[in-house]
Amino acid sequence: MNLHNLISSIKPVNTEAAKACEARFNNVAKPIGSLGKLESLVMQIASVTGSAEVSLNRKAVVVFCADNGVAQSGASLYGHEVTTAIAKLLALGKSSVSVMAESCEAQVFPVDIGMVDTVNGLRSCKLMSGTNNIAKEAAMSAETAEKAIITGINTVKELKEKGYNIIATGETGMGNTTTSSAVCSVLLGRPAREVTGRGAGLDDAGLLRKIAAIEQAIEVNKPDADSPMDVLHKVGGLDIAAMAGLFLGGAIYNVPIVMDGFISGAAALIAVRLCPLSRGYILPSHKSFEPGARIILEELNFSPVIDADMRLGEGTGAAALFPLLDMALAVYNNAATYDDIQVGN
């Protein structure tokens, strides 16, 4: 099935399931609505799955690994060797997100969607050995971008069939805050300087080089702001494309997908522009320190529960939401009700 047909199958979330979930929460022996956004997230999960019987007993973090040619333009402190090093840690279960996920009983699935090097222990879905330098030419072909999105969609299908009932989005790859800033700048009509941060620690001169590279990429490629696919293939990255596929896959297969930080947010923006209905299937996790991330949150009207100035990537912010959801569900499923204590709610 092609991408158009897959997107056409997306339906609105189930509001009746959300109402049933709310009624059940309101019968828990506590002030109504007192868990705030945590209750809203549980209700949203019910609306995604179509059932007020909410369980998150199998949690996944999918980390797409990809290199970006724009890192060669001075927009990044590091080259593809660092992507490779992090990917090796992911394969060993020793990266930051790996140990965070282990602490909350989530499984990490690292995927090579477009690394320069090849790392044993990663699932290979390599479409390119790194994208082209967007400051000089399009990142990838439109066909490659579509293949990356479909890879993300199929990943959701496979994980759901294996019993996973919530998926967090993650990525690693040098230069991907640059591509995310470019996507954000074009789709939101904002100057590059407004949506561009220091990424992995750029100094003032490095930040200026990064902004210049983004401005040049937009000038060279002339992406069409009204076409998410045009923006994606011209100035985006394979990790962004694959994560956009995860968000769309969640909407297709009724699986809640947790958004991480800036790069994940750029992917969510692509997904929502491709299919506005997909927004209801996306759970925001945290407010990234990156300026573009907060602008995307405003655009999507998301209000995350975590504000910790995180900017690590890998899906760490998304994984940090899992324990909070587990605690909210513990109350939802196990706490005493007003009926139990014979007090009217």
Q: What is the 3-state secondary structure (H, E, C) of 155-179?
A: HHHHHHHCCCCEEEEEEECCCHHHH
User: What is the pLDDT at residue 200?
Assistant: 76
Q: Which residue, among 125, 145, 291, 297, has the nearest Cα to 221 in the 3D structure?
A: 145
Give CA–CA dist 324/38, Å, rounded: 7
Domain residue limits, the chain: 59-323
Residue 80 corresponds to which tokens in the numbers above? 């593809």
Give CA–CA dist 181/207, Å, rounded: 12
The CATH architecture to which 59-323 belongs is 3-Layer(aba) Sandwich (3.40)
Counting other chains too, the contacts that 274-277 makes at CB distance below 8 Å and 24 or more residues apart are: 274/7, 274/228, 274/229, 274/244, 274/248, 275/7, 275/10, 275/248, 275/251, 277/10, 277/11, 277/12, 277/13, 277/251
- What pTM was estimated for this model as a whole? 0.97
User: What is the pLDDT at residue 344?
Assistant: 66
**Do 63 and 70 form a contact (C-beta atoms < 8 A)?**
no
In sequence order, what E strands does the chain have? 59-66, 106-114, 123-124, 166-172, 257-259, 282-284
User: What is the pLDDT at residue 77?
Assistant: 78
**Do 313 and 96 form a contact (C-beta atoms < 8 A)?**
no
Give CA–CA dist 79/25, Å, rounded: 49
Mean pLDDT by 10 residues, the chain (345 residues): 94 98 96 97 98 97 98 83 97 98 98 98 98 98 98 98 98 96 98 91 89 97 98 98 98 98 98 98 96 97 96 96 98 94 73
User: What is the pLDDT at residue 202?
Assistant: 87
User: What is the pLDDT at residue 160?
Assistant: 98
User: What is the pLDDT at residue 345?
Assistant: 58
Place of tokens 């702001």: 225
User: What is the pLDDT at residue 188?
Assistant: 97
DSSP 8-state code for residue 193: H
Among 146, 171, 290, 314, which one carries the catalytic annotation? 314
Q: Is 171 a catalytic residue?
A: no
At residue 110, φ and ψ (nearest 5 deg) are -85, 135
User: What is the pLDDT at residue 251?
Assistant: 98
Collapsed DSSP state (helix, strand, coil) of residue 31: coil
Residue 121 vs residues 101, 118, 132, 239: alpha-carbon distances, Å: 17, 9, 25, 18
